[in-house]
């Protein structure tokens, strides 16, 4: 069956526009309103959805297209909450869904209501053609990703695992274009870093602000923070990043291939990264892909300007590479800041890394090769965190693949002002995702 792609584009655009106009800013979330919108669309087409609330207003939607069970289910997952927007800094209202110059504007246009619209559209297209499926396709639009997922994907995994159990899942986290030294690649996320957030505290002697002394908790904390800022933490090359850089090097060839491969070598990393003509964004991304990172984000000390406080505290956002734990990080931290500073971990969520030698990855690579033959798909490690960390507890292989044409610069708008998606990119993504899901789940003719 041939699809009318202009009509598909317009329909997906309408869904995205409608979803953006439903304010699901988290907190408080109110995702039920968006879930009800999706439910109404699905019902109209004969797909029976279920909405499950983790708390009043915190709706999670699940729907299923049945296959014949020859293969295990595929989960299309997406979060429908968004981060707050400072409306007065936007040129188009964040919940207006305006279209201007080929872009659709709004909070969630790239994170991740675009994927919600695409997955919805793909589900509807498969339902309409009605071809038999070899596996179930499950659609989950969940709450609360932006606040950690405890009321969303985390809750679904805990309370309703049977509704979403799948062999594979497609999620946010990859699918965008990545330009490296003049060559375009597309990403498919198979790994993401873990988190090990911690508080660090220094103690000293209280006293009067008029009589400075060196046993001042604030000065000690400042010194520790400065050391963290200046430190280069130990280098670790995970399997995914190895694969990623080997493929980039192979595609680029001379003169940069040697230096790209040298990034994988702890001893050669620093010199190689200096030699490569990388922009600031790539340089910091490569660093985060090859090191545990520690970012101080919150400070707390003192309650009166003329009193030297006996305790000062900083909170740090730390990210762990695959295979690393908070204990490993503690060792690395101690080497930088010494033993005097107290460190208390607030969480320890390990990184995740899935196999890429799978039929789903192959399908993604094959479909992308048809659409973008000069831009290979790279197995990719996301340095942030997504709902994948919840769903992988069910043994699901989660791939981040929300295909889009947007250059990386557009992604700076994620969580920023004037978030937007090119309508062409939404159309491209819908088409690619449809082909991936169709070929993976119908299992026959292309």
Which region among 105-113, 193-201, 242-250, 328-336 touches Zn ion (by CB under 5 A)?
Answer: 105-113
Cα 327 to Cα 134, 227, 345, 393: the distances in Å are: 44, 19, 10, 22
Instruction: Give the interface segment with Zn ion, choosing from 109-117, 345-353, 381-389, 428-436 (CB under 5 A).
Output: 109-117
What's the closest the beta carbon of residue 78 comes to Zn ion, in angstroms? 12
Pick 111 or 439: Cβ nearer Zn ion: 111
Nearest Cα residue to 177 out of 188, 161, 168: 188
CB closest to Zn ion, residue no: 111
Cα distances (Å, whole numbers) of residue 230 to 223, 294, 362: 11, 11, 41
What is the closest distance, in whole angstroms, from the C-beta atom of residue 282 to Zn ion in the complex? 21
Question: What's 82's DSSP letter?
Answer: B
By CB under 5 A, which span of 50-58, 63-71, 106-114, 283-291 interacts with Zn ion?
106-114
Nearer to Zn ion, 31 or 111 (CB): 111
Among 147, 154, 307, 334, residue whose Cα is nearest residue 231: 334
Q: Which residues pair with 77 in a beta bridge?
A: 140
Tell the smallest beta-carbon distance from residue 187 to Zn ion (Å).
16
One of 111, 259, 372, 419 touching Zn ion (CB under 5 A): 111
Interaction between residue 136 and Zn ion (CB under 5 A): no
Classify 312 as helix, strand or coil: strand
User: CB under 8 Å to 436, separation ≥6 — which residues?
Assistant: 170, 360, 363, 364, 367, 401
Shortest CB 221 distance to Zn ion, Å = 30
Q: With CB under 5 A as the contact rule, which of the stretches 111-119, 337-345, 375-383, 394-402 interacts with Zn ion? A: 111-119
Stretch of 108-116, 266-274, 348-356, 357-365 contacting Zn ion, by CB under 5 A: 108-116
The distance of closest approach from Cβ of residue 83 to Zn ion in the complex, given in angstroms and rounded to an integer, is 6
The 3-state secondary structure of 284-299 reads HHHHHHHECEEEEEEE
Task: Report d(CA 272, CA 285) in Å as an integer.
Answer: 15
Task: Please identify, using beta-carbon distances, which residue of 81 and 372 lies nearer to Zn ion.
Answer: 81
- Could you say whether residue 419 binds Zn ion (CB under 5 A)? no
- Residue 429, phi then psi, degrees to nearest 5: -60, -40
Q: How far is the CB of 97 from Zn ion (least distance, A)?
A: 18
**Catalytic residue annotation:** 81, 145
Residues 6+ apart with CB under 8 A from 209: 305, 306, 307, 308
Instruction: At 61, list the tokens.
Output: 């939607």
Q: How many CA atoms lie within 13 A of 269 on its CB side?
A: 19
| Residue closer to Zn ion (CB basis): 136 or 146 | 146
Whichever of 76 and 367 has its CB closer to Zn ion, that residue is: 76
For residue 128, the minimal CB distance to Zn ion (Å) is 31
Angle formed by the axes of helices 423-441 and 113-129, to 10°? Answer: 50
The full length of the chain comes to 446
Closer residue to Zn ion, CB minimum distance, 252 or 285: 285
The footprint of Zn ion on residues 2-41 (CB under 5 A) is none
Residue 232 exposure: Cα atoms within 13 Å on the Cβ side: 10
Q: Look at residues 441, 263, 444, 242 and name the one whose alpha carbon lies nearest to residue 356.
A: 242
Rounded Cα distance, 113 and 445, in Å: 31
DSSP helix/strand/coil, 215: coil
Minimum distance of Zn ion from residue 2's CB (angstroms): 36
Nearer to Zn ion, 111 or 372 (CB): 111
Residue placing its CB nearer to Zn ion in the complex, 111 or 114: 111
In the complex, the smallest distance separating the C-beta of residue 85 from Zn ion, rounded to whole angstroms, is 12
Helix, strand, or coil (residue 266): coil
| Count of residues interacting with Zn ion (CB under 5 A) | 1
CB nearer to Zn ion: pick between 111 and 410: 111
- x-marked contacts with Zn ion along 356-375 as a string, rule CB under 5 A: --------------------
Rounded to the nearest 10 degrees, the angle between the axes of helix 217-230 and helix 326-337 is: 110
Q: How many CB atoms lie within 10 A of CB 266?
A: 13
Which residues here bind Zn ion, judged by CB under 5 A? Answer: 111
């Amino acid at each position: 069956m041939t699809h009318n792609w202009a009509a598909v584009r317009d329909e997906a655009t309408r869904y995205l526009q409608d979803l953006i106009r439903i304010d699901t800013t988290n907190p408080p979330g109110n995702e039920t309103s968006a879930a009800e919108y999706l439910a109404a669309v699905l019902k109209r087409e004969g797909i029976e959805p279920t909405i499950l609330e983790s708390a009043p207003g915190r709706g999670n939607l699940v729907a299923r297209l049945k296959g014949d069970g020859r293969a295990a289910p595929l989960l299309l997952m997406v979060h429908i909450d968004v981060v707050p927007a400072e409306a007065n800094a936007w040129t188009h209202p964040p919940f207006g869904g305006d279209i201007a110059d080929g872009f659709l504007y709004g909070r969630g246009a790239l994170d991740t209501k675009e994927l919600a619209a695409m997955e919805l559209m793909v589900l509807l297209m498969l339902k309409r053609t009605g071809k038999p499926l070899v596996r179930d396709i499950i659609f989950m639009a969940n709450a609360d990703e932006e606040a950690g997922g405890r009321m969303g994907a985390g809750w679904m995994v805990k309370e309703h695992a049977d509704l979403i159990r799948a062999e594979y899942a497609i999620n946010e986290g990859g699918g965008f274009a990545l330009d490296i030294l003049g060559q375009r690649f597309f990403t498919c996320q198979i790994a993401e870093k873990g988190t090990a957030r911690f508080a660090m505290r220094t103690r000293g002697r209280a006293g009067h602000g008029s009589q400075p002394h060196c046993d001042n908790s604030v000065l000690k904390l400042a010194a520790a923070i400065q050391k963290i800022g200046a430190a280069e933490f130990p280098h670790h090359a995970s399997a995914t990043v190895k694969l990623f850089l080997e493929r980039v090097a192979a595609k680029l060839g001379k003169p940069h291939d040697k230096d790209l491969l040298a990034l994988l070598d702890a001893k050669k990393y620093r010199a190689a990264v200096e030699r490569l003509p990388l922009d600031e964004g790539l340089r910091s991304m490569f660093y985060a892909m090859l090191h545990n990172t520690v970012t101080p984000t919150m400070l707390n000390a003192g309650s009166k300007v003329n009193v030297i406080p006996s305790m000062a505290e900083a909170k740090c956002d730390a990210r762990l590479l695959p295979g690393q734990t908070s204990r490993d990080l503690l060792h690395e931290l101690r080497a930088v800041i010494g033993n005097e500073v107290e460190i208390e971990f607030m969480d320890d969520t390990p990184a995740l890394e899935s196999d890429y030698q799978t039929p789903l990855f192959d399908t993604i690579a094959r479909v992308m090769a048809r659409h973008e033959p000069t831009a290979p798909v790279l197995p990719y490690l996301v340095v942030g965190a997504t709902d994948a960390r919840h769903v992988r507890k069910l043994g699901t292989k989660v791939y981040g693949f929300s295909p889009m044409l947007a250059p990386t610069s557009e992604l700076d708008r994620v969580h920023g002002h004037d978030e937007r998606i090119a309508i062409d990119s939404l159309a491209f993504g819908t088409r690619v995702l449809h082909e991936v899901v169709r070929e993976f789940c119908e299992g026959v003719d292309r």
